[in-house]
């Protein structure tokens, strides 16, 4: 039975509203510690104060001060900062850095984070096996995507997420001068999935990615081949250029002005609605409405992890592969792929857009010529696609 346009709009509104309401509920019930401690209280320090007085006047633990100012001997607590060969400015900077680090650590619920990572790994192993066996059917895809953003977004919350490992690391360093090792370890884990199996993490385990993907699938026919409302494949040259520029601006603003342009529009706040601002709500709504018509607009146009993941997937062990001996060049896979990726993979273009390992192309192929496999890529026979030239590098929109 084909979907009605009214049904699609109603489903879209229900999914977005329920996601936000349930996230509000779970933030309250499960993740109160996620409301991070702010440490921007100005420090009262002058050159004649002893270290012990600084601790007392600013309500800072002595142990934190000792760590911040590298004090090993308790006798030094009675010295003034001049006697310690420190200036007011450098003392403030060192203390602020340590306090920010401690606040970051205190704001994390490490048990919940550990459970999230274990669930992510188990979920991705399942997805990997299903894609390898070509068993991600249209119906299964919807349930898996729904399960993904409900579990990794609504239940476990927005933090940590693949994008924030990059953005928080840049802003943490640029603004507060801190480098938080657990964040770096998380980034390595996320990138490991990229080296292993293309963008399988983005494709299935990132909650905001899964939410956008789920919304796109709401507006697809029952075979998951094309949109009920028209859907568009945006030129990769355009989306990737915007994504690179956005990343450059983000880094420059963080280092030059000490602020994050992403925080105010952070789409992961969908799963932590208490942090949403009016600008954030408007931006996220635009992204989610656009997701009905364009495949993962946030991922393709803005996400810093999307950009890094796109580079990493070039070195991935498992990828979409085409068996050209059985391929009949019907291009059903390219038509069904929600982006320009399959057109480029099929014709072996030099620039391959992001492939989210969604498996749509595998299901669409009538001759079962597409697999998610490792090993050497078979070369495309000359003249196989001679009539139709791939258009993904052009700046046009195609339905
Ligand atoms: S590119 Fe998309 S799926 Fe990947 S981290 Fe960013 S938002 Fe998530
Ligand atoms: S090529 Fe397209 S359809 Fe195939 S897995 Fe990648 S993104 Fe999905």
**Domain edges within the chain:** 51-106, 110-311
Whole-prediction pTM value? 0.84
What is the C-alpha separation between 399 and 232, in angstroms, rounded?
A: 5
What is the C-alpha separation between 108 and 242, in angstroms, rounded?
A: 33
Task: Identify whether the C-beta of residue 132 lies closer than 8 Å to the C-beta of residue 372.
Answer: yes
Sign of CA dihedral 225, 230, 235, 241: negative
Closest ligand 1 atom to Cα of 296: 2
Looking at ligand 2, which residue's alpha carbon is closest to its atom 2? 337
Looking at ligand 1, which residue's alpha carbon is closest to its atom 2? 299
Nearest Cα to Cα of residue 355 among 389, 385, 379, 321: 321
The number of beta carbons lying within 10 Å of the beta carbon of residue 143 is: 11
The number of beta carbons lying within 10 Å of the beta carbon of residue 4 is: 10
Å from CA of 203 to ligand 1 middle: 8
Residues with CB under 6 A from ligand 1: 162-163, 202, 206, 208-209, 296, 298-299, 303, 305-306, 309
Å from CA of 318 to ligand 1 middle: 19
Looking at ligand 2, which residue's alpha carbon is closest to its atom 3? 337
- Among 359, 373, 377, the mutation site with the greatest number of ligand 2 atoms within 8 A of its Cβ is 359
Q: What are phi and psi of 97, to 5 degrees?
A: -60, -45
Q: What pLDDT tens digit does each residue of the chain (399 aa) get?
A: 678 999 999 999 999 999 999 999 998 777 665 544 445 567 888 888 888 888 888 888 888 888 788 787 888 888 888 888 888 888 888 888 787 777 777 777 888 899 999 999 999 999 999 999 999 999 999 999 999 999 999 999 988 899 999 998 998 888 777 788 888 999 999 999 999 999 999 999 999 999 999 999 999 999 999 999 999 999 999 999 999 999 999 999 999 998 899 999 999 999 999 889 999 999 999 999 999 999 999 999 999 999 999 999 999 999 999 999 999 999 999 999 999 999 999 999 999 999 999 999 999 999 999 999 998 888 888 888 875 554 444 334 444
**Beta strand 370-373 pairing with 319-322:** antiparallel
What is the C-alpha separation between 85 and 82, in angstroms, rounded?
A: 5
Å from CA of 384 to ligand 2 middle: 20
- Among 236, 337, 340, the mutation site with the greatest number of ligand 2 atoms within 8 A of its Cβ is 337
**Tokens matching residue 138:** 């249209």
Q: What are phi and psi of 284, to 5 degrees?
A: -65, -40
Looking at ligand 2, which residue's alpha carbon is closest to its atom 6? 355
Closest ligand 2 atom to Cα of 362: 4
pLDDT value at residue 394: 39
**Alpha carbon 4 to its chain's center:** 32
Check residue 261 and report its DSSP letter: T
Ligand nearest to the CA of 194: 1
Residues with CB under 6 A from ligand 2: 320, 337, 339, 341-342, 345, 355-361
Å from CA of 331 to ligand 2 middle: 13
- Among 216, 320, 369, the mutation site with the greatest number of ligand 2 atoms within 8 A of its Cβ is 320
Check residue 370 and report its DSSP letter: E
3 state DSSP class of 322: strand
What is the C-alpha separation between 18 and 154, in angstroms, rounded?
A: 10
How far is the CA of 394 from the CAs of 297, 340, 391, in angstroms?
18, 11, 5
Task: Identify whether the C-beta of residue 347 lies closer than 8 Å to the C-beta of residue 380.
Answer: yes
What is the C-alpha separation between 85 and 383, in angstroms, rounded?
A: 75
**Alpha carbon 214 to its chain's center:** 16
162-171 and 181-197 are packed helices; what angle lies between their axes, rounded to 10 degrees? 140
What is the C-alpha separation between 210 and 291, in angstroms, rounded?
A: 11
Closest ligand 2 atom to Cα of 372: 5
Closest ligand 2 atom to Cα of 342: 1
**Tokens matching residue 227:** 């949109």
The residue assigned the tokens 């002893």 is 50
Closest ligand 1 atom to Cα of 207: 8
3 state DSSP class of 334: helix
Helix (H) or strand (E) holding 97: helix 88-106
Rg (CA), the chain: 25
Å from CA of 199 to ligand 2 middle: 10
In the chain, how many H helices and how many E strands?
A: 17, 2
Where would I find the beta strands (DSSP E) of the chain?
A: 319-322, 370-373
Looking at ligand 2, which residue's alpha carbon is closest to its atom 1? 342
């Amino acid at each position: 039975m084909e979907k009605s346009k009214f049904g699609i709009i109603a489903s879209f509104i229900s999914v977005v509203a329920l996601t936000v309401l349930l996230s509000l509920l779970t933030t309250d019930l499960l993740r109160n510690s996620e409301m991070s401690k702010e440490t921007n209280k100005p420090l009262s320090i002058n050159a004649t104060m002893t270290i012990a007085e600084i601790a007392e006047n600013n309500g800072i633990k002595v142990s934190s001060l000792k760590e911040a100012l590298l004090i090993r001997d308790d006798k030094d607590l009675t010295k003034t900062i001049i006697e310690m060969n420190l200036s007011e400015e450098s003392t403030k900077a060192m203390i602020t850095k340590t306090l920010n680090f401690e606040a970051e650590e205190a704001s994390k619920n490490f048990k919940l984070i550990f459970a999230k990572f274990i669930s992510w790994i188990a979920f991705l192993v399942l997805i990997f096996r299903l894609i390898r066996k070509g068993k991600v059917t249209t119906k299964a895809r919807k349930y898996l995507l729904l399960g993904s953003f409900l579990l990794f977004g609504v239940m476990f919350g927005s933090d940590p997420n693949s994008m924030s490992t990059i953005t928080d690391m840049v802003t943490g360093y640029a603004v507060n001068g801190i480098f938080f090792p657990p964040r770096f370890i998380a980034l390595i884990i996320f990138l490991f999935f990229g080296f292993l199996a293309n963008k399988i993490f983005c494709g299935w385990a990132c909650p905001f990615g899964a939410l956008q993907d789920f919304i796109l699938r709401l507006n697809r026919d029952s075979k998951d081949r094309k949109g009920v409302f028209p859907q568009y494949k945006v030129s990769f040259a355009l989306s990737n250029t915007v994504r690179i520029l956005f990343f450059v601006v983000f880094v420059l603003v963080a280092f030059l002005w000490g602020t994050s342009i992403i925080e105010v529009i952070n789409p992961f706040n969908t799963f932590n609605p208490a942090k949403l601002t009016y600008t954030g709500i408007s931006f996220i709504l635009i992204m989610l409405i656009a997701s009905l018509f364009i495949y993962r607009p946030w991922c393709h146009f803005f996400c810093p992890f999307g950009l890094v993941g796109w580079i990493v997937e070039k070195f991935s062990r498992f990828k979409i592969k085409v068996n050209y001996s059985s391929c009949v060049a019907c291009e059903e896979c390219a038509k069904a792929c929600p982006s320009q990726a399959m057109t480029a993979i099929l014709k072996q273009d030099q620039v391959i857009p992001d492939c989210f390992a969604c498996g749509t192309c595998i299901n669409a192929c009538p001759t079962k010529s597409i697999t998610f496999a490792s090993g050497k890529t078979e070369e495309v026979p000359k003249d196989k696609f001679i009539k139709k030239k791939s258009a993904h590098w052009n700046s046009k929109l195609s339905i």
